[in-house]
């Protein structure tokens, strides 16, 4: 891992943390909780790793194809 630990937005220090965010895909909404991310200690911006981002994308696609209107996903429960 050669991940930069400097926030691209404010140049603050990034550290490992958890974040919560919502994806609105038009016909529905998925809320992700306890998402592992690098969180900026200055501005609070959270940056997902590629693997986390792709699992988020997969869950959104499943929700969309299953026509689920609202879903809360606890990612830490899903993490190996
Ligand atoms: Zn920042």
Rg over alpha carbons for the chain, rounded to the nearest Å, is 14
Q: Which two tokens stand for residue 37?
A: 């991310």
Residue 40 near residue 14, CB atoms below 8 Å:
yes
CA of 43 to the centre of ligand 1 (A): 4
pLDDT one-digit tens code per residue, 11-69: 999 999 999 999 999 999 999 999 999 999 999 999 999 999 999 999 999 999 999 99
CA of 18 to the centre of ligand 1 (A): 15
Q: pTM of the predicted model, to two decimals?
A: 0.80
Query: Rounded distance, CA 56 to CA 30, Å?
Result: 9
CA of 45 to the centre of ligand 1 (A): 6
CA of 3 to the centre of ligand 1 (A): 15
């Amino acid at each position: 891992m050669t991940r930069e630990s400097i926030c691209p937005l404010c140049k603050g220090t990034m550290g490992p943390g958890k974040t919560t965010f919502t994806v609105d895909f038009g016909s529905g909404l998925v809320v992700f909780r306890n998402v592992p991310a690098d969180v900026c200690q200055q501005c609070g911006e959270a940056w997902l790793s590629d693997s986390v981002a792709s699992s988020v994308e997969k869950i959104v696609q499943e929700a969309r194809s299953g026509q689920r209107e609202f879903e809360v996903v606890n990612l830490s429960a899903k993490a190996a």
